[in-house]
Every structure is written in C-alpha cells, then in structure tokens.
Amino acid sequence: MRREGSPFKGTWTIALKEAADHITSARMHLVMVLVLLTAIGSAYGAIELLRQNADQDAFLFLKLMTGAREPLPSFASFMGFLIPLVAIALGFDAVNGEFSRRTMSRILAQPIYRDAVLFGKFLGGLLVLGIALMTLWLLLTGLGILLLGLPPSSDALVRGLAYLVATLAYAGVWLALAIALSTIVHAPATSALAALSIWLVVSVFWSITAPLLAQWIAPVDPLVPMSVITQFEIQQAIARLSPGTLYGEMTQLLLDPSARTLGPIFIEQLHGAVIGAPLPTMQSILLVWPQFSGMIAAMLVLFTLAYVVFQRQEVRA
C-alpha cells in the first residue's frame, strides 16, 4: 500500500516530548551534574595557569579549553571522554525502552509513521545535547571573562563556536550508535552494555591497536626511508576509524591557531609561513572539514542502520 501524507508528520512533536522527558529525568540530572562539575574544575585550573599570561596571548580564551592543571586534564579532554557517555545515556533505551514499557503500539496507533518516531527520538536527544553543550560553552566563556578580566576576540569566538559544532557532531555519532543498538538489542540493559563496550574499545584500546595493525600491514624497511612515512599514514588512517581520533584532531586544529597539519611536516609546507604565527580561522575550519565530514557520514550510517532495523520490526499490542 502507498503511504499517504508526509512520513515526517509529528516529528517535532515527538522530538520536543523526548527532549522534555530527558531534561526532567533524574538520570539526565545526575549525568549533567557530573559533566558540569568536571568541566568547571578543569576550566578553573586552566584559568589559574593563564592569569599570568593575560596580556601576552590573543587567543587566551582558547587555552581555557586546552590548558590543564595537574591532576585534572583539559576541558577539551574531558569533553572527549564524557560526551559519549552522555549521548549513550540518552539513546540506549530510545526504542527498546518503548517495547519493554509496552508503549510502542500506542505511539504507532496514532496517525504518525515510524519515520517520525525514530527521527523525533534522534532529534530530541540531539536537542538536549545541543542545549547542554551551549550551556557549558557559555559558562566557560563567562568564567573566563569574570576571572581573567578580558573579553574574547572575534577570532576566538568563531573558533569556539566551530569547536561547539564539532562537539555536537561528535555527540551525534554516539547518540546514533546508542539508538541503533536500542533497535537491534531487545533489552535496554544489554544495549547499554554493548554501547559502553564499543565506546571503551574505540576510545581506549583503538589507539593501541592502530600502531600494531600499521606495523603488520606496512613494516618499516631500513633500506626504504619513505617506508616510515607510509607506515605512519596507514596508522593515521586506521586511527581515524575512531570518532575519538577525529574529534581530537578537530580540537587540536580549531583550538590551537598555530597548528597547520596533523601529519608529517615537509619543507614545502612551511614555504612562506611565519613560525608560530596563527593560522587564519577559515583555513583551520577548512583543515578540519574532512574530519567533520567523516563524523557526519558515520552518524548517517548508524542512523540508517537503526532506521532499516526499526522499519522491519514487528510491533504487537
């Protein structure tokens, strides 16, 4: 039978209802308190280190996100570690939770299609993540102005907003993964454990696995000097299969204006460049565009997997 009407009718209704449920849930409150405390702690430690250089750096605000004071890591490092956990907490029971509560049949009994249900749940989770990230970014900027006594430059604001968009895309990848697992796995607890296992492997062990695979694929030949570069390029390509690696590269290029490349530096690349001079903001954004596109592609692939599986599932009252 041919479907009548738009398959996306009711998407925003479901998205807003899903976002409201997340924002008012105790689970989300606990997770956000953890993120907020760690973010404030890392930012305050960076501010203490940067106060003495307040008049010497035009991109002082960017170092609020990359500066670190022992034993706390930087704000950007915390985000790379905690954002996947927040996204998984939002999406691990998006679909199978409705089945376990026996509410999926009631939702689909309304004049809406499954497309709207899945898109609404994804957009609702992404909306909550966007609100949380924007709040953290504004809080960090406010702390910097209050404690450093200096307003951020226009370039620092643009780079900070670009970093915010990159972080949202990174969170979207993990949210899409959690929703995909919630459609494949029937038990919410099992889908949560599966998502956390994937996060642990990709974020922690993949950086150890990539050099080993590169050595096996392209061992270094002492008689061929270029074999070292070849092995490094293969290792870099394998490492970039991890969203964490892509996010780390985007963070480095966006928050460090002096960063010009992520691979080996050749003399030709330094032609006409002033050592230590900041790269224009648009050039840094162009450098991270492949990484950003890769994360968007991963998010679309995972969401497509969830969409196909959900469309084929049987729903009983």
| Sequential pLDDT tens for the chain (317 residues) | 566 667 778 888 899 999 998 888 888 888 888 888 887 777 777 777 776 655 555 567 787 887 767 777 788 888 888 899 999 999 998 898 888 888 888 888 888 888 889 999 999 999 999 998 998 888 888 887 887 777 778 888 889 899 999 999 999 999 999 999 999 998 989 999 999 999 998 888 888 888 888 888 877 777 666 777 787 788 888 888 889 899 998 998 888 887 777 655 554 455 555 555 678 888 888 889 999 999 999 999 999 999 999 988 877 76
Whether residue 3 is contained in a domain is answered as no
CB-neighbour burial class of residue 91 (10 A; exposed 0-12, middle 13-18, buried 19+): buried
Q: What angle do CA 115, 82, 52 make, to 5 degrees?
A: 135
Whether residue 5 is contained in a domain is answered as no
Q: In this predicted structure, what is the pLDDT of residue 308?
A: 92
Residue with tokens 């307040």: 54
Q: In this predicted structure, what is the pLDDT of residue 99?
A: 86
Question: Which of 176, 214, 215 lies closest to 198, judged by CA?
Answer: 176
Q: In this predicted structure, what is the pLDDT of residue 32?
A: 83
Whether residue 221 is contained in a domain is answered as yes
Q: In this predicted structure, what is the pLDDT of residue 169?
A: 94
Whether residue 167 is contained in a domain is answered as yes
The structure tokens listed for 233 are 């390029």
Whether residue 54 is contained in a domain is answered as yes
Residue 69: phi and psi, rounded to 5, are -130, 125
Report how far Cα 206 is from the mean position of its chain's Cα atoms. Answer: 17
Please state, in angstroms and rounded to a whole number, the distance separating the CA atoms of residues 109 and 91: 23
Q: In this predicted structure, what is the pLDDT of residue 180?
A: 94
Whether residue 299 is contained in a domain is answered as yes
Whether residue 186 is contained in a domain is answered as yes
Q: 78 to each of 42, 67, 184, 243, how far by Cα in Å?
A: 8, 12, 30, 15
SS3 for 31-57 is HHHHHHHHHHHHHHHHHHHHHHHCCCC
3-class state of residue 141 by DSSP: helix
Whether residue 1 is contained in a domain is answered as no
Q: pTM of the predicted model, to two decimals?
A: 0.89
Q: Containing domain of residue 302, as a range?
A: 11-312
Please state, in angstroms and rounded to a whole number, the distance separating the CA atoms of residues 28 and 78: 18
Q: Using only C-alpha atoms, what is the Rg of the chain?
A: 22
Q: What angle do CA 210, 78, 160 make, to 5 degrees?
A: 100
Number of structural domains (the chain) is 1
